[in-house]
């Protein structure tokens, strides 16, 4: 069957088969494929479907948050991960729970990202600034960036 002729539930299952989605993200994706009429508004239909998927354990906000964090934690800091969770519409509680374990290894992850990108300590202040901007763009905290760029040990 072509994707055009899929039912709303089949489309939702197809999205969930590809990867975990937050409730808000899946609702947003499904809304693009539903015709909204005055007699049958799309919002309640989508909400009923999302409730059904949640009841069957197919849609889980915490699982979606954990999946995103575990897939991207090796490349990004907690700030960037929090922003990505927010962009996907993950509930604040689920995001906080998913990020709870990430903060402990922030220095090691930043050091690994720095090592892959640069490998050697900066020769001058301009190079240190460039390295710091790179790590800041990856969502690492200022304290962690300072320790990594200066070559300080985790303490």
Tens-digit pLDDT profile for residues 10-40: 999 999 999 999 999 999 999 998 877 776 6
This prediction has a pTM of 0.84
Which architecture does CATH list for 105-150? Orthogonal Bundle (1.10)
Alpha-carbon dihedral 52, 82, 30, 62, rounded to 10 degrees:
-10
% of residues, the chain, pLDDT over 90: 76
Of 106, 120, 21, nearest in space to 63 by CA? 21
CB atoms < 10 A from the CB of 79, how many? 17
Tens-digit pLDDT profile for residues 72-104: 999 999 999 999 999 999 999 999 999 998 888
% of residues, the chain, pLDDT over 70: 93
Domain ranges of the chain: 3-55, 61-104, 105-150
Q: pLDDT value at position 69?
A: 96
């Amino acid at each position: 069957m072509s994707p055009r002729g899929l039912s709303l539930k089949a489309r939702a299952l197809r999205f969930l088969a590809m990867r975990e989605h937050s409730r808000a993200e899946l609702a947003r994706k499904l809304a693009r494929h539903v015709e909204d009429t005055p007699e049958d508004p799309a919002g309640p239909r989508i909400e009923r479907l999302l409730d059904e998927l949640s009841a069957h354990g197919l849609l889980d906000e915490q699982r979606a948050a954990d999946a995103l964090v575990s897939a991207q934690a090796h490349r990004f800091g907690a700030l960037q991960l929090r922003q990505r969770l927010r962009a996907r519409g993950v509930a604040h509680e689920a995001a906080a729970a998913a990020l709870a374990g990430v903060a402990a290894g922030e220095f090691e992850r930043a050091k690994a990202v720095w090592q892959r990108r640069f490998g050697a300590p900066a020769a001058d202040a301009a190079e240190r600034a460039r390295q710091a901007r790179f790590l800041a763009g990856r969502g690492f905290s200022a304290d962690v960036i300072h320790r990594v760029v200066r070559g300080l040990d985790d303490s």
